[in-house]
Amino acid sequence: MDWINAIIQGILLGGLYALFAAGLSLIFGVMRLVNIAHGDFIVLAAFLGLSVTSVLGISPLLALLLVVPAMAALGYVLQRGILNQTLGDDILPPLLVTFGLSVIIQNGLLEIYSADPQKMSAGPIETASIALPGDLNVGVLPLIMFLVAVVVIAGLQWVFYRSALGRAFRAVSDKQDIAELMGLNKAHVFGLAMALSLAVVAIAGVFLGIRTSFDPSIGPGRLIFGFEAVIIGGLGNLWGTLIGGIILGVSQNIGAQINPGWQLLAGHIAFLFVLAVRPRGLFPRID
């Protein structure tokens, strides 16, 4: 039963990892930009959530109403102000500039909030659980997180393939100059993509902050999980990202079940195994 439990909890944890990964996958798909500061943005969102909940005295889930637009606005401004200048054939500028941003966010958070671990409380919902047959229990909160992940990914999928904004994303991603000739403002479209990415990051960050304790230094670890989920699932495939997150969550939980010291290692090994066998991921987008 312990094993089945570990797998179920791993699947639910995978939802959170998919949320880490979705934003990363989205901006890579649109502008081939890999955001090294992605994990630090997740932590920043968690701290913003913490500040909003403690100042206004509201539930972290309500705080999302403020954190999501704030992060989206930050994403748009950063993209227009700094990141657009780094885009081109060379991969170094975006990599190094987001690396610099990562250092700035980590140390800025350290300065403001100190290195103490923090946690947000979502009230009685945190301990509520649903009993399943066979002595299994599923936490209500992890279940909500998983369902939100599914809804977010379905939403992104819809935006990307069914909306005018998604058409702009795909057009700019395919051929920037021709998209511009058709009247699209590349800088603006990229700004919107980063805004959407950080809106998803905001949800991921607040959920992370409810689920576990966090401190300013944990960003890079979240970036790695997100990145692994993207590669396992297959580059550019949003549903693949969800499956990648689930595989990562399940392998971590199985690893932890064998030996607590192997939790993270098991996730990394699952990632390296997929890389060795299917370098383009399990479900690469056909293009």
Partner 1 sequence: MTTTTYSISRSSTVTRTAAVVGILVVAGLIAAPWWAGRADMRLLSEMFLYLSLACLWNLLAGYAGLVSVGQQAFVGFGGYMLFALAIFAGVSPIVAIPLAGILGALVAVPVALLIFRLRGAYFAIGTWVIAEVFRLSFAQISALGGGSGTSLPVAIVRGMASNRSMREATTYWLALGMAVLVLVVIYMLLRSRNGLALTAIRDSEVASESFGIDIWRHKFVVYIIAAGLTAMTGALIFLQKLRISPDAAFNVNDWTAFVIFIVVIGGIGTLEGPIIGVIVFFLLRETLSDLGTTYLLILGVVAIVVMLKAPKGLWGTLKERTGLELFPLSRRVVKNKSDK
Bridge partners of residue 118, in order along the sequence: 214
166 binds partner 1 (CB under 8 A): no
Taking the C-alpha atoms of residue 261 and residue 87, their distance in angstroms, rounded to an integer, is 40
CA dihedral of 24, 193, 283, 174, whole degrees rounded to 10 = -130
When the beta carbons of 12 and 215 are compared against partner 1, the nearer one is 215
62, 110, 147, 154: which one binds partner 1 (CB under 8 A): 110
Taking the C-alpha atoms of residue 93 and residue 272, their distance in angstroms, rounded to an integer, is 27
- Pattern of binders to partner 1 over 258-277, x per CB under 8 A? ---xx-xx--xx-xx--xx-
58, 62, 96, 258: which one binds partner 1 (CB under 8 A): 96
When the beta carbons of 34 and 184 are compared against partner 1, the nearer one is 34
CB of 122 to partner 1, least distance (A): 30
59, 108, 171, 186: which one binds partner 1 (CB under 8 A): 108
Under a CB-based contact definition with an 8 Å cutoff, are residues 266 and 255 in contact? yes
Using alpha carbons only, what angle is made at residue 232 by residues 231 and 236, rounded to the nearest 5 degrees? 50
99, 121, 154, 158: which one binds partner 1 (CB under 8 A): 99
Using alpha carbons only, what angle is made at residue 172 by residues 93 and 281, rounded to the nearest 5 degrees? 70
Taking the C-alpha atoms of residue 40 and residue 278, their distance in angstroms, rounded to an integer, is 29
Chain positions contacting partner 1, by CB under 8 A: 33-34, 36, 82, 85-86, 91-97, 99-104, 106-108, 110-111, 220, 223-224, 227-228, 231, 235, 261-262, 264-265, 268-269, 271-272, 275-276, 279
